[in-house]
Structure 1
Amino acid sequence: MTPRLQRQLSELLGVQQQQRRWHGALPVLLLDRCWLQLQRVRVEDLAQVLPPDSSGDAPELVRFRELRQQGVDHLEAQELCWDEFGRHSCSQALRRFWEAQERGHHGWTLSAYLHLLERYRQLIEAEGPNPVPLLVLARHGNPEHHRLEWCWP
């Protein structure tokens, strides 16, 4: 980080130490390494600013994975899902999933987003210093994942 970004982070960490309760105005930092920009986003606005990919959590796909984990044959699981949700709905869910895979989401999925929220809340409500989550954004066109780091005072 540049000295300017480090100063911004230090100031924010100082303010963050006064927090002891979970609320939507808590900060999340997004670091764009290409432009050396540090963006501060309210935790309640994070999903709008950096939408997580939830295509893999479609009920049709979740049910298919459950059936497969129960030992149901691939083809039979597909047919059961078609019966339960309809063939068109299953095909759409699968198409949305593969389109998201092709576009790339840098590992920023619904489960990653929910994990960040859960962990942040635990850390804020715990005794001791309060960290700020920093998402180091993957470079555009690069298959790497966004990286979550915790900045501690």
Structure 2
Amino acid sequence: MAIIGSNAEDVASSYYAIIKRAPAHIKHYTFWCDNCSALNKNWKLYVALCTAAVNADWGPETVTVKYFEAGHSFMKADVVHGQIGKAMKKKSNVYDIHDLNDIIPKTSRHNKTLLLNFEDFYEFKEGNRQRRSKNSSENLPMLNNVKV
């Protein structure tokens, strides 16, 4: 049973947890994502990654998020999802996240899991205004132009 859902804040919390729990010597991260604006292209994810990057104790020096070109939808994750699906069919009794956590690492030595607890989830705020007034000449930054 999931303790949280799969909205933008939850996905951002997952990225944040990966960085926070990684070994301290890892200073550069590159995430390849699909073009899902609801989950992988939003200000909440950007705020989460910036929050991680500015943490002096464990934050990385760089975080890069790369997106595939529209129409080129093949991702390594598609293969991984297929492997996991086959393994789940072989093991007919998958009842909870712990069963799934047992299956995933067995599908490939490259597949690792990170179980998140309730305290790993944050309510990242968007950090920007949703709309400009019609009379405003203020230009808000686009995500692809922002660097920290």
Same fold (TM over 0.5): no
Greater share of residues in helix? 1
TM-score band (shorter)? under 0.3
